[in-house]
Amino acid sequence: MHVSRRRFLGTSGAAVLAAGTMATSRVFGANERIRIATVGVRGRGFDHVRAAHSSGQADVVALCDVDQGVLDGRCAELEKLAGAAPRPYRDMRELLADDSIDAVTFATPNHWHVLGAIWAMQAGKHVYVEKPISHTVWEGRQLVAAAKKYKRVAQHGTQRRSEPQWQRYVERLRSGAIGDIYMARCPIYRFRDPFKYPMAEPVPDGLDWGLWQGPAPEKAFSRNYVHYNWHWFWHYGNGEVGNNGPHGTDIVNWVMDKGLPVETYAAGGVFGYEDDARETPNTLVVTHTFADGTTFVIDVRNRHTNGEDGVLFYGSEGYAIGGALYNPKNEVIPDEQEPPERVNSTDVHMASFIQAVKNNDPDAVPATVEQGHIAASLCHLANVSYRTGRAIRFNPRKERVKGDDEANALLTRPYREGFEVPKLA
């Protein structure tokens, strides 16, 4: 049974969930195009739009953004691109009540990812969620449970899982080409300028500040938050480790397949900038230890950098970095296969999602929400250790910190009334 427009808009997410409503999946013809909407279109979200349009298998029929100026501009761009004007929405609940929409992609700030995606699944939509998949560890687990409960196609935005060159690289590493992998190291080096703005200002014309905040308890508006620097405040973002970290943490999980750690220690701070307004660290070193003793180190730096990126894997018979494998003599280990053709990762990832939707096959996506949950949680646990100032001992099965109430409180967050993430797991 579909959730009616009036009912969806007139109830909280928790009430819709309690009603147990779920739409029946539409069956697509071989040449039928799916109808997609995107929520959050200022930056990464419009990459979703372009990729969906270029697939030739979908029509982007609606856009949603709480900033009227952004929404108007992107609707005009899409009309020029596709030859048809999309339906504009400010409130995602109105978009989700539109029964003609088959799937929704989300590129909102982190604190909206899980609630928006669960609401969409409750309304019968398939979902594509940008990284990090969640704002907290607890949220991520609820999204995984929602995908299973509502039987929706749900894909995470770690597009490297759709790239043939990454698929081959991981295949070689998992086959034992460098022996037993006992450690990985992931640098996250992105230069960020310092900033110092007023912390309370009038809300700009055209911005629905209440909807922008959504699940987060209300705060006064500040340019510090809209449209990008929210990443560096705990209320809405997860720092650099949560911003760019999930790409690297997902690769490590893909290769090593260790799940979540039993111990995490993180140390760092804001260094090099005077009176910088950010709350999250611009320098952070994290060590995750897994149950079998293997380790994973994350190194965050927002200062000057020379492009030293590349996940490094240490094996008993060599090492790997930047897509290349080396033996103990630092000689390249040749691949017996021809290198795969380079592709546009966003385009192929979106195409994979669209095909899974057309086939109504949740298992066909290359990046599942469970994998997204692990990738994000490796970042969230780093932040929990940093914020408590100590190592945390974690139970991966229960997804709880052992004997530490302060740390466990940071695995979730308080929610604004009417915007609570429902408990499903």
pLDDT tens-digit series, residues 215-234: 999 999 999 999 999 999 99
Residue 417 lies in a domain: no
State the number of CA atoms in the 13 A half-sphere of 221 facing the CB.
14
Q: What is the pLDDT of residues 92-122, one digit of tens each?
A: 999 999 999 999 999 999 999 999 999 999 9
Output the pLDDT for position 226: 94
If asked whether residues 65 and 92 sit together in one domain, one would say: yes
Q: For 334-373, give one letter per residue: b (16+ CB within 10 A) or e.
A: ebeeeeeeeeebbbbbbbbbbbbbbeeebebbbbbbbbbb
If asked whether residues 157 and 169 sit together in one domain, one would say: no
Give me the domain span that covers residue 10: 5-161+346-372
Q: Is 24's pLDDT higher than 60?
A: no
Residue 296 lies in a domain: yes
Q: CA angle, 258 as apex, 255 and 259 as ends, to 5°?
A: 110
Output the pLDDT for position 306: 79
Output the pLDDT for position 310: 87
Q: Is 305's pLDDT higher than 90?
A: no
If asked whether residues 176 and 63 sit together in one domain, one would say: no
> How many domains would you assign to the chain?
2
Output the pLDDT for position 143: 98
If asked whether residues 17 and 65 sit together in one domain, one would say: yes
Q: Is 12's pLDDT higher than 90?
A: no
Mean of the per-residue pLDDT values of the chain: 93
What is the domain-level CATH number for residue 357? 3.40.50.720
If asked whether residues 53 and 156 sit together in one domain, one would say: yes
Output the pLDDT for position 18: 38
Please state, as a whole number, how many other Cβ atoms lie within 10 Å of the Cβ of residue 27. Answer: 8
If asked whether residues 174 and 121 sit together in one domain, one would say: no
If asked whether residues 149 and 187 sit together in one domain, one would say: no
Output the pLDDT for position 338: 94
> By C-alpha distance, which of 128, 88, 87, 126 is closest to 108?
128
From CA 248, how far away is CA 312, in angstroms rounded? 10
Do 113 and 132 form a contact (C-beta atoms < 8 A)?
yes
If asked whether residues 148 and 92 sit together in one domain, one would say: yes
Structure tokens given for 356 = 């899974």
Do 239 and 280 form a contact (C-beta atoms < 8 A)?
yes
Residue 419 lies in a domain: no
Output the pLDDT for position 9: 54
What's the pLDDT band for 7 if we cut at 50, 70, 90?
very low
Q: What is the mean pLDDT of residues 283-308?
A: 93
Question: Could you tell me the pTM of the whole model?
Answer: 0.94
Q: Is 240's pLDDT higher than 70?
A: yes
Q: Is 163's pLDDT higher than 70?
A: yes
If asked whether residues 236 and 129 sit together in one domain, one would say: no
Alpha helices in 57-203 (DSSP H): 68-82, 92-96, 113-122, 137-150, 164-174
Q: CA angle, 306 as apex, 300 and 312 as ends, to 5°?
A: 55
Collapsing DSSP to helix, strand or coil, 292 comes out as coil
If asked whether residues 317 and 238 sit together in one domain, one would say: yes
Residue 66 lies in a domain: yes
